[in-house]
Structure 1
Amino acid sequence: MNDSKRKWWGYFFIAPQLIGMLAFSVLPLGFAFGLSFMRWDGFGEREFIGLANYIGQFRDDNFITALVNTAYYSILVIPVGIALALLVALALNKVKGKTVYRVFFFMPVVTSSVSIGVIWMWLLNGDIGLINQLLAMVGIDGPNWLTDRNLVLPSIAGLSIWWGLGTNMVIFLAGLQGISRSYYEAADIDGATAIQKFRHITFPLLSPTTFFVAIMSVIGSFQVFDQAYVMTQGGPGKASYTLVYHIYEQAFGRSAFGPSTASAMVLFTIILIFTLIQFSVSRRWVHYEDGGR
């Protein structure tokens, strides 16, 4: 087979993926970008209004509230979620039967977000919730987790950390198992402590995995919606009102598809900026075993 035929066969095999990406990713993204400059309620003709939708969003108190809430939620979830998943992975990496534990920790990930939300609504109920019942057994008067403006976002963040623990833990565990034992054997010969081995071997060689988990955590945290929608409806008093909830409310609550897509484009830009910053900073701390990039 000559090179020309090989090339066309290559195009043939990647065509389904390219068509799918164009149909379900590139074209909808382009349509949303164009729609963000228009006034449209889902029916009739679209009217081009320039940057009015974007200007309106930054003048909208609800958008600013959603932006602040989403940033606060991300600050709560990302570092704690990554650190906890790493600790669990380190613990499981040294025990027998890690497959059973891995399945146990991963079970919440495959559970419906609605089911998870309903269960945690009961657990966090201020009157009859299991968590407050357990606190009462040790003499602590539990708060109203989902109706207190100061506690609702930390409560949802706690749920999200628990829910995403399995995914991050499995990724970290895979990264740990990919580190050659020869490094640790050499460190043992030199008399290195457990902390020294983690600092100089485990963490540097696990940095590509940590980098991947960090990127996915940032993307996931900024897209939080299910938990707030099911458990609090954005309340109390917009205290759990997030960016994606704001996008949903504008599009399907008020049929304001122009402002909704403008908000979505702002969210896309924020995620893109943070991802590019992470890639830029990663050159300083991400290390590869073979020295490559």
Structure 2
Amino acid sequence: MTLTDDDGVAVALREPPEVASMLPADTLAGRVALVTGGGSGLGLESAMAFARCGASVGLLGRTLGKTEKAARRIADETGVRAVGVCGDVRKADEVAAAFEAVENALGPISILANNAGANFPARSAELSANGFAAISRIALEGTFIASSEFFRRYLAAGLTRGAIVNNGAQYQATGYPGAAASSSAKAGVATLTRALAAEWAGDGVRVNSIVAGWFPHDGSRTATAEEADAKVGPRIVAGRVGRIREYGWLAAFLVSPYAAFVTGENVHLTGADHLRRRPIGFPYQPVSERENLWESDLADRTGVRR
């Protein structure tokens, strides 16, 4: 017999407690983290989670005002030092300058979270080479550029423990109609995660990624968890979407000493959504028949948007 709550959700899978952190407040004390794409969304949540565990935080994004505003919020809410810097992860010189600015303000960086990303729906035959590059370079090349800059500086500073957490996506294993650039780039990030983990382990650097499921947040297509629970929850094994704090908790754990034996992993945080896609997904609708590439009419009839 499965124990369920009043809404029929399995007790073990229902909404997590409203707590700021699942780790002690000094878990990352004395550490400095840099988060790309840290001005909003999952990047900002990762940065906030690191700060709540005691780390000083640098936020890198393409809009300086946005990262500076996010840094002020982190400092106000957690009391740690935080700075916002500007740069494009596709440009090695701008990444190097961002690292330099954060290290001048906060000290040597021993934690890196690669969250910078961009995406838009496009039929593959109509997607230009520039459009493909714009999406894929941020996800894959940007992750490599930031990671290699991190590692060089890590060695130069004489650090002995470091951690990188990358951002993955469920469709990295399957592809997705209208997302050829992003899905193929994320597949590259998954392999890059394993390659760097194997190469840098001897120098004390662990590398993992979080393969995220549905985590509604400001700016996402489904802005609230409650909306998404109603529309998407019935199609997810866990019966609900993720709460963004759960993403931050996992990111903080993966860069913490408590995960010292975890490296080279692409950790799925999906409520088992990635397990149900083939056997119990909604009927397929050809891309040519869709008005919106990422939201099929067949899905709309079931109340589920995908």
Task: Specify the TM-score bucket, using the shorter chain as the normaliser.
Answer: under 0.3
* Structure in which a larger fraction of residues adopt helix: 1
* Structure in which a larger fraction of residues adopt strand: 2
Larger radius of gyration: 1
What TM-score comes out, normalization by structure 1 length? 0.26
What TM-score comes out, normalization by structure 2 length? 0.25
